[in-house]
Amino acid sequence: MMYLWKRRMVQFCHRLLSLPSRTWKWLWWKYDLFILTMKVIFYNEFLSTSYVFEVLMTPMVWVVDHFSKALGPILVFLVVTLTSSVVAVVYIIGLPHYWNKSPVLTCFLIVLGHWLLINVVFHFTMAAITDPGTPPKGTLISEAVSVCKKCIAPKPPRTHHCSVCNRCVLKMDHHCPWLNNCVGHFNHRYFFSYMAYMTLGAIFIMSLGFEIAYREIWLGGDGGVGLGEAIHYVLEEGGIPGDNPDEEVEPLEGYPVSINGTHLMPMYDGTVGTPIRLERPEEEQEKQRRNYWYRFAIMYSGMLTTGVFFSLGGLGTWHGRLISRGETSIEAHINRKETERLAKIDQVYKNPYDFGVYENWRIFLGISHGRSVWRVLLPSPHPPDGSGLTWPNAIITAANHSKIA
C-alpha cells in the first residue's frame, strides 16, 4: 500500500513538473493546426510574407493616399502664399534700405534678386503642372521589366506605381505633396532646379537681411530698446529700463515749458532753446505700431528663410548626390538592398544607369543636342533626353567601348 502511494506521488510530481512543457507542445500543435487550416482554405502558390504585409497595410495606405490628395492643393497654396509674403517684405523693407545706402548696389541686387525669383517661380510652376510621364496604353512597349500589379500593365525600366496618383510614372522619384504632383522623368529637372534656386534665394535674403535685422532688432533701430540692450539689462541689471519703480532717474537740466500743448521750450541757464515739437498721442501710437510690424516682418522673413535654407538645402544636397550616382530616391533604396545581397556572395553590384558624375548630370539637365549651360541658368522648358520608356545601359555601353578599343 505504501509503495503504491509513493508511486502515485512520483507520477503526480512528474506530471506537475512537465505541465509547462506539455502546455507549450499543446499550444504549438494548435498553432500548426490553425496554419494548416488557413493554408487549406486560402493557399496560394504566390503567397508570401511581403504579400500578407501588403494586404494588411492596404487600409492605412488608402488613408494616406486619399489624405495626400486632399492636402496637396492646400500645400501648394501655402508655398505660394509664404513665398509671396517674403518677397513682399523684401520689396517693402529691404529695397528702400539698400536704395538709401547705395543706388548702384541696389540696381545690381535688383537684377540678381529677380533672376533668382524668376527661376524659382518658373521651375516651381513647371514642376507642378508638367506631367511626369506614364507608359502609353494600347501600344507595344519594346522594353518591359515587369508587370504592375495595380495597373495590370507592363512597366518599362525605372517605372514605378504611384499610389497617390494611381498610375505608373516613368523614372519615378517620389510623390511630392508640396507640388501636388509626382516627380518623374519629365519634371525631375524642374523639381531639383526649384530646390536649388530656392536655397540660393534664401541665402540671398539672409545675407542681405542680416544688416537690417541687426540694426532694427538687436540695436533697436531709430527708437525703442533693442534686443541686445534688453538682454544686457536682464542679465546685468535684473530688468528692463523703466520697469523698476525704485530706479533712480537722472535729473533733467532746464525747465521744458509746454506751449499750447504742441511744443517744448527747453531752458538752458536762463536761455530759451529751440522749441521742440511734441508728438501727439495718436502719432506716438502709430509710430509704435509701425515699429512693431516692421520688426515682426523682419523676424518672420528671417525665420522662414532660415527654415527653407536648412530643409530645402539638405534635401537638395541629398538629391544632388543621387543624381551624381545616376539613381532616383526609389532606386537608391533598391540599389542598397541589391548591394547588400550581392555582398553576401562576394559580388559587387553595378548601377546600370551610372555613367559617371559628369555624364549623369549632363543627362539629367538635358545639356545635349547643342544646348548650352544657359538652359540651366535661365528658365528653359526643354524636355529631358529620351522618352523614358527605354534607357541606355552603362554596363553594356562600357563593354562595347572596351571591345572597340
DSSP string, 200-217: HHHHHHHHHHHHHHIIII
Reading phi first (left if > 0) and then psi (alpha if -120 to 50, else beta), residue 350 is in beta
pLDDT by residue for the chain (405 residues), tens digit each? Answer: 555 666 666 666 767 777 778 888 888 888 888 888 877 776 666 666 666 766 776 676 666 666 777 788 999 999 999 999 999 999 999 999 899 999 999 999 999 999 999 999 999 999 999 999 999 887 888 888 888 888 888 899 999 999 888 899 999 999 998 999 999 999 999 999 999 999 999 999 999 988 888 887 766 666 555 555 555 555 565 555 555 555 555 555 545 554 545 566 665 555 656 666 655 666 666 766 777 788 888 889 999 999 999 999 999 999 999 999 999 999 999 999 899 889 889 899 999 999 999 999 999 999 887 888 899 999 999 999 888 898 888 877 666 656 555
CA distances 385 to 67, 181, 227, Å, are 34, 21, 54
Predicted confidence at residue 368, as pLDDT, reads 81
CA distances 258 to 218, 249, 278, 284, 337, Å, are 34, 21, 9, 17, 83
With beta carbons less than 8 A apart as the criterion, state whether 185 and 388 touch: yes
H helices of 1-48, in order, are: 2-17, 19-42
Predicted confidence at residue 279, as pLDDT, reads 58
Predicted confidence at residue 4, as pLDDT, reads 62
Predicted confidence at residue 35, as pLDDT, reads 83
Residue identified by cell 541686445 is: 228
Catalytic machinery residues? 176
**Which residues contact residue 182 at a Cβ distance below 8 angstroms, ignoring those fewer than 6 apart?**
132, 162, 164, 165, 169, 172, 174, 175, 176
Angle of CA points 103, 108, 114, to nearest 5°? 120
Residue type (1 letter), 224:
G
> Is residue 154 exposed (0-12), middle (13-18) or buried (19+ Cβ within 10 Å)?
middle
Helix (H) or strand (E) holding 256: none
- Which cell numbers in the block locate residue 44? 496560394
- Which cell numbers in the block locate residue 250? 537722472
**What single-letter DSSP state applies at residue 93?**
I
Strand 160-162 and strand 146-148: pairing? unpaired
Nearest Cα to 75, choosing from 181, 161, 193? 181
Distance, CA of 396 to CA of 160 (rounded, Å): 23
Give me the helix-helix angle, 281-324 and 329-343, nearest 10°.
Answer: 40
Predicted confidence at residue 371, as pLDDT, reads 86
Distance, CA of 218 to CA of 295 (rounded, Å): 10
Predicted confidence at residue 165, as pLDDT, reads 87
Angle of CA points 118, 119, 122, to nearest 5°? 80
With beta carbons less than 8 A apart as the criterion, state whether 379 and 124 touch: no
**What pTM, to 2 d.p., does this model score?**
0.74
